[in-house]
């Protein structure tokens, strides 16, 4: 895989280096991910949502091609039945919101198992969960609403594929399409909070911080799975970023457990570069692109406020990749080299690899980040073929 010729010689056009603040990184991580919060998320997820970790797959042939010592791929495409990491964040948040509802009515907090078994359906049955989505978060909320005995109404923008809409409807949700992009769907869902609906947002904004924090606590379980499975502390972790919930949660957990050892690089499409622009400006800044990216789940114009709070003091750098680089990375994962196992990777799953390849192909950046033959990198395959039709079309698209 080769980097775009327009940007390969000048890292400043696609990479912003940042210097983490160890004290601030620990402070913000501990505030978000207390031991009690992570323990609660782990208990709920393991008992009622995702009983087993997804695999961390070694890709030695691809590591050799990139000139590094080791590469591990966290395969969230195997997070059954939704084929996406979003399942553990959105579903955990739904379970906690419904537990709050039952506790307020009865004085006793129910277990997630009791909710899933329908013991409180007389209380949860009229509750409406709502959210905005580019596809996978909405599926998680839809699945969880059905699992824990509530209703769901999901808002999507114009570009969300029919296949992803159908998948949410298959879990019993009503899907409402709004004119515009993801941020327009966020506004539509947020407006329903005044009507008494429960907004299960995966992006934090003023007035909506508590539920996105729950979503991120669910994502912390993903980080713990990586920490438990990787044979050595990695030197580099590359994280894709849409609104930043996953990137922020995984970064916070890594800083808690591994400290400042791994270099953490945030990767996103250049057409949806809100994290990159925020890092460049030193404050939250909207994306400069039109959000028209094949990485549908990353097509977000604004960062979550909580994610920025973490990433701004904890990440080592922010990188953008082109559409061609995203497609090349996706194809490389789905068509592995001889020594590597077969993977079903969706369009957002290759973001970390696209960033890794871009660094590898730039001598100055590779040197400054110590991406050499001793490097041990971790990337996260955030989704499988969550829309099989789109997945097949992309794999058939020429580079």
Distance CA 365, CA 17 (A): 10
| Cα 107 to the center of its chain, rounded Å | 34
Task: Compute the distance between CA of residue 280 and CA of residue 204 in angstroms, rounded to an integer.
Answer: 21
86 in catalytic set = yes
Which tokens is 226 given?
A: 């990586």
Sign of torsion, CA 21 26 29 31? negative
User: What is the sign, positive or negative, of the torsion defined by CA atoms of 394, 395, 398, 399?
Assistant: positive
Give the orientation angle of helix 305-314 with respect to helix 245-258, to 10 degrees.
Answer: 40
Mark out the alpha helices in 210-304 (DSSP H runs). Answer: 210-229, 245-258, 274-281
State the catalytic residue, choosing from 74, 75, 83, 86: 86
Residue 129, phi-psi category: left (phi > 0), alpha (psi -120 to 50), beta (remainder): beta
DSSP state of 70: E
Q: 3-state class of 296 per DSSP?
A: helix
Q: What angle do CA 262, 272, 129 make, to 5 degrees?
A: 90
What is the rounded CA–CA span in Å between residue 346 and residue 343? 10
Q: The dihedral of CA 389, 221, 256, 282: what is its sign?
A: positive
- Which position among 134, 202, 224, 387 bears the catalytic label? 134
Structure tokens at 239: 């994280």
Q: What interhelical angle do 245-258 and 210-229 show, nearest 10?
A: 50
Integer Rg of the chain from CA: 20
- Show the tokens assigned to 65: 């091609």
Note the maximum CA span of the chain.
63
What is the enclosing helix (H) or strand (E) of 300? Answer: none
Catalytic residues, by residue number, are: 86, 134
């Amino acid at each position: 895989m080769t980097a775009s010729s327009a940007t390969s010689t000048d890292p400043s056009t696609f990479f912003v280096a940042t210097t983490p603040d160890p004290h601030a990184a620990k402070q913000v991580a501990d505030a978000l991910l207390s031991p009690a919060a992570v323990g609660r998320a782990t208990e709920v997820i393991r008992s009622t949502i995702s009983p087993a970790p997804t695999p961390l797959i070694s890709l030695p042939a691809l590591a050799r091609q990139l000139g590094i010592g080791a590469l591990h791929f966290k395969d969230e495409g195997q997070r059954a039945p939704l084929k996406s990491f979003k399942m553990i964040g959105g579903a955990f948040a739904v379970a906690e919101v419904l537990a709050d509802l039952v506790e307020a009515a009865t004085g006793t907090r129910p277990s997630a198992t009791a909710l899933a078994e329908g013991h409180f359906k007389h209380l949860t049955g009229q509750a409406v969960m709502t959210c905005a989505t580019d596809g996978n978060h909405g599926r998680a909320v839809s699945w969880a609403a059905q699992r824990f005995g509530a209703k769901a109404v999901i808002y999507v923008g114009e570009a969300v594929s029919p296949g992803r809409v159908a998948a949410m409807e298959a879990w019993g949700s009503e899907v409402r399409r709004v004119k515009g992009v993801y941020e327009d769907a966020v506004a539509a869902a947020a407006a329903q909070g005044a009507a008494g609906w429960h907004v299960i947002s995966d992006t934090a904004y003023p007035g909506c911080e508590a539920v996105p924090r729950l979503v991120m606590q669910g994502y912390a379980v993903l980080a713990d799975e990586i920490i438990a499975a990787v044979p050595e502390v990695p030197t580099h972790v590359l994280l894709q970023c849409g609104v930043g919930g996953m990137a922020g949660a995984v970064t916070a957990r890594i800083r808690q457990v591994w400290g400042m050892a791994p270099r953490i690089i945030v990767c996103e499409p250049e057409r949806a570069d809100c994290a990159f622009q925020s890092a460049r400006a030193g404050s939250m800044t909207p994306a400069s692109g039109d959000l028209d990216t094949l990485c549908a789940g990353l097509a977000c114009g604004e960062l979550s406020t909580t994610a920025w709070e973490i990433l701004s003091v904890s990440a080592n750098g922010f990188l953008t990749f082109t559409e061609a680089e995203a497609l090349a990375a996706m194809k490389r994962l789905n068509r592995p080299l001889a020594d590597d196992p077969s993977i079903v990777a969706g369009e957002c799953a290759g973001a970390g690899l696209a960033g890794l390849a871009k660094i590898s192909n730039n001598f100055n950046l590779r040197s400054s980040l110590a991406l050499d033959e001793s490097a041990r990198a971790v990337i996260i395959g955030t989704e499988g073929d969550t829309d099989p039709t789109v997945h097949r079309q992309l794999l058939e698209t020429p580079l």
